[in-house]
Amino acid sequence: MRVKARLRTLATRALGETMDVKTMVHLIRRLFGTYDLNERTGFPLSVPIPNRTAAQQIIDDVVSAGLFLDFVALLLDIERLGMSGRMYRFPRMTLLVNEILALGYRYDDGARVFVEDTSIRTTRNWGVLKEGESYVMAFLGVDVVGNTKLVKQHGNTVMGELYAAVRALIVECCEKRNGRLWGWEGDGGVVAFTFEEQNQRAALSGIELLHELLLYNLTECPLKQGLHLRVTLHNGACEYSESGSELKSDTIKRLWQIDDAFGRPDTMIVTDSVFPSLERPIASHLRRLNVAADQEYYTYSLRFVD
């Protein structure tokens, strides 16, 4: 994110007019861990640092580190929760937040972070994930059953059009719940979810996808046998990379191993790392799949009742 001079000025004033230098340093260490203001400003320990100078240096460092949105979210946290037993009100905070919203972001009150506004733009990092940082995320793996056979029977052109329709279904079901399609290889891909209730949102997306696929097969799909998907939901740590190298992470490798071993047509497999966090209305519709003495997976599939 490019931080314009007006935003820097608003943040500098909000900080410098509210806190003394000692409190500012205490605050910024929540983002940086360690932070030596004297070293960064060049002021010797024997010389007091003016409030405005301290605030300006802190904002410059926050911007240089790519942490400006995190910093403003931290200020909102301090206004709501206080710090060290004291409540703070930062001047021009409403104006500062409105300027950020005008740049195409929104504040996620549950996760307490700024993320991109999908009505304005959609990027693979939600506008906030940082290169090389590790995040715990939920991943929804989707692939078409019998891809090789279908291509042989119907040809690349026909199947390419059908796979494009499937991709559109996946994007529609997942992006409305703040998911991002991170990889697509023609007949399947991976959707990533992060922030608040990521497992819930991923599970609901997978469930809706199976229902939408059924409707697609009944009303639009030109194949007599229809198209069928295997869906797998897993979560774990992942180091973000704009290049997409995280698609080779251990978490996603494990997802595809589970898909290969236990995936079933028109069924979503939910791993034991996801299931305990699911709310009862979702979990109650899953059936246990015993795969090993120390391992349990769960499945969701459409079941028809006479």
Could you tell me the CATH number of the domain that includes residue 284?
3.30.70.1230
pTM of the shown model:
0.81
pLDDT for res 305: 53
Cα–Cα distances (Å) from 142 to 80, 129, 215, 231, 233, in that order, read 40, 23, 17, 5, 9
What is the tens place of the pLDDT at every residue in 245-285? 888 889 999 999 999 999 999 999 999 999 999 999 999 99
Residue 234, token pair as written in the block: 């897993």
One domain for residues 143 and 292: yes
Same-domain status, 140 and 97: no
Regarding whether 86 and 172 lie in a shared domain, the answer is no
Domain enclosing residue 287, as ranges: 134-301
Question: Quick check: is 306 in a domain?
Answer: no
201-to-14, 116, 132, 182, 213 alpha-carbon distances in Å:
36, 17, 25, 16, 18
Q: Is the pLDDT of residue 306 over 80?
A: no
State whether 149 and 289 are in the same domain: yes
**Do 88 and 177 lie in a common domain?**
no
Helix intervals (H) in 85-230: 93-102, 147-175, 198-219
Q: Does residue 199 share a domain with residue 253?
A: yes
The answer for residues whose C-beta is within 8 angstroms of residue 4's C-beta and 6 or more apart is none
In the chain, the number of structural domains is: 2
Q: Is there a contact between 138 and 202 (Cβ–Cβ < 8 Å)?
A: yes
pLDDT per position as a tens digit, 129-179: 988 999 999 999 999 999 999 999 999 999 999 999 999 999 999 999 999
**Domain finish residue from 80, 103, 126:** 103
Same domain, 90 and 150: no
The mean pLDDT of the chain is 92
